[in-house]
Amino acid sequence: MPALRAFAVCRQISTLSTINLNKTINSFIANGNLKEARKLFDQSPHLRNVVSWNSIIAGYFRYRCIQQAEYLFDGMPHRDVVSWNTMLSGYRNANNPEKVYNCFLHMNRHGDKPNELTFAVAISSFLHKDFKHLVPQLHGLVLSLGISLNVFVGSALMRGYIDVDDYKGLARVFDEILVKDVTPWNVLILGYMKFGCTSEAQRAFDMMPTRNAFTWSTLINGYIENKKLNEARSLFDKMSEKDVVSWTAMIRGYVQYGDFMEALKLFKVMLSSGARPNHFTFSTVLDACAGNSAVLVGNQVHACILKSGFPLDVVLLTSLVDMYAKCGVIDIAFCIFESIPERNLVAWNSIIGGYARHGLPERAMQEFERMVKSGIRPDEITFINLVYACGHGGLVEEGERIFNSMVTDYGLKAEMEHYACMVDLYGKAGLLEKAEKLIEGMPFKPDVVVWGALLGACGLHSCLELGEIAANGIYTLENDHPAVYSVLSKIYGDKGVDSDITGLEKLMKNWRARKQKAGSWIESPSSISITV
DNA sequence: GTAGGGTTAG
């Protein structure tokens, strides 16, 4: 008997120590001291259990040491479902759905049964990815394994069905969740809004038992997405506790629909209400300044950011570059660009776009070369900017070279915008036949922008025949386009043709053509001043 | 005692 008691005591001691070991490991990890945690782990082979292994692996993932995590996982003597979930979650946070997928398969082949969490992690990592089509299959697996749809799996599944545009799937999963908290309701609103069903979303909002900040922001954002800015605003005004997300979403709404002045006004209201803007807010407000060419306000926002002590990250600095460039202060834009320590693709696109808009194709090309040299791979937007720059500088051959290089050297597909820029480039240079041929050879039907570029060029060079083709092209797509009338009448005037003879006069009246609003770089006296 | 769902950015 004493031996048995001793064994029991020993076991108790060892269990206690294991708990202590794991506690210590976790506190090391929480303090970022991964090395100490690992040292302790290595020194205690007799005490450590599967929890210790799981903790260390999670720690490696937390500090992005994925290879070490994998190495440890492969060498584990015994794995439980948490070990697998830790791996899946790590891969998910590393934004690697392929590894999540493989790990999930591996787990099943290994004979380890997934639990609710496994599915919640797997499904959420497939959202907005090529793997999203697995969502209905995962749903089937959940059902066949008899796993209950808790709020985590349920919410993730609902998002999955939104992602694959399955309205019925979304509603079905919502009904299948037996005990719902606020999140499935929020996701339901999100889904209804994504599917354009604003009244269903509103009804869900009215029906739900409790609401939180997410609920309000989701509904406001949904209205904005569905172009119902007034509904969004009246809801926003009703919010008793507006948080930074709802402020930003509302301001962003105005920016999206071009009402930059209202966006800036709302930002001022936000500041006077005592709410504190964050990175998202500043970035959005800088967008508003850029859209409004409001460099004075932009300066104030810049000062506001500096005063608030926010660290200037790449995103914020890029917003500043964009704002200064769009407000016509390209030199300051360039200075800020130069101050960005780690420039990413968007930052480079911003400065290249800035030079493009300023009609400085050589500078745009220089920055492009620097970008490539620094190892950043250009994308479609880079090339839109470059071709646009060439068009503004009259560099036809250079533009052609860039356009071709995009496809042959970088494997990118020429999209509508690239063709529009090329048509503009040819058109401005008076090479109307080339422009026409390019449109004919396009792999898709031209849109208003392409036709518009052609029409503009025809106006510039008084080409009646092609101008009418372009105008008709626009008419078939949008029978209410303001710019058509003025360009066509210019061509008729240049050619001395009585527009009534062509029979287009009647057509043009139907277009209810309006004069386009003119923009100015000079700030209006009513511009807003921002004070902190 | 390890793993988890929903809103805003260039």
Taking the C1' atom of every nucleotide in all shown strands and the CA of A343, the nearest one is B10
Determine the Cα–Cα distance for residues A422 and A147; give it in Å rounded to an integer.
Answer: 56
Asked if A511 contacts A486 with a C-beta cutoff of 8 angstroms, the reply is no
Of residues 295 to 334 in chain A, which lie within 7 A of strand B by their beta carbon?
Answer: 313-316, 318-319, 322
Q: What are the pLDDT digits (tens) for A476-531?
A: 887 766 667 777 777 777 777 665 555 555 555 555 444 444 444 444 434 456 65
Mean pLDDT taken over chain A: 88
Asked if A181 contacts A200 with a C-beta cutoff of 8 angstroms, the reply is no
Asked if A78 contacts A107 with a C-beta cutoff of 8 angstroms, the reply is no
CA-wise closest residue to A215 among A250, A179, A239, A180? A239
Q: Return the nearest residue to B4, CA–C1'.
A: A117
Query: What backbone torsions phi and psi does residue A165 show, to the nearest 5 degrees?
Result: 55, 40
Q: Return the nearest residue to B9, CA–C1'.
A: A280
Q: What are the pLDDT digits (tens) for A178-216?
A: 899 999 999 999 999 999 999 999 999 999 999 999 999
Query: What backbone torsions phi and psi does residue A458 show, to the nearest 5 degrees?
Result: -65, -35
Most confident of A128-132, A221-225, A459-463, A487-491: A221-225
Q: Which two tokens stand for residue A529?
A: 């001043």
Asked if A386 contacts A420 with a C-beta cutoff of 8 angstroms, the reply is no
Asked if A255 contacts A291 with a C-beta cutoff of 8 angstroms, the reply is yes
Report, as an integer, the average pLDDT of A93-99: 92
> Is the overall model pTM greater than 0.85, yes or no?
no
C-alpha angle A237-A243-A249 in degrees, rounded to nearest 5: 70
Residue A412 backbone class (left: φ over 0; alpha: ψ -120 to 50; beta: rest): beta
Torsion of CA A274, A280, A284, A289, to 10 degrees: 70
Q: What are the pLDDT digits (tens) for A167-176?
A: 999 999 999 9
- The alpha carbon of residue A267 and the mean position of all alpha carbons in its chain are separated, in whole angstroms, by 22
3-state helix, strand, coil in chain A (%, to 5): 75, 0, 25
Domains with residue ranges and CATH for chain A: 242-342 (1.25.40)
On the question of pLDDT at A460 being above 90, the answer is no
Q: Which two tokens stand for residue A456?
A: 């503009």
Asked if A482 contacts A516 with a C-beta cutoff of 8 angstroms, the reply is yes
Asked if A319 contacts A287 with a C-beta cutoff of 8 angstroms, the reply is yes
Distance A287 CA to B9 C1' (A): 10
Q: Which two tokens stand for residue A126?
A: 């497939």
CA-wise closest residue to A119 among A133, A99, A140? A140
Asked if A238 contacts A206 with a C-beta cutoff of 8 angstroms, the reply is no
H helices then E strands: how many in chain A? Answer: 31, 0
Q: Which two tokens stand for residue A57?
A: 């692996």
Report, as an integer, the average pLDDT of A52-79: 93
Of residues 402 to 431 in chain A, which lie within 7 A of strand B by their beta carbon?
Answer: none
Task: Check if residue A289 sits with its Cβ under 7 angstroms from strand B.
Answer: no
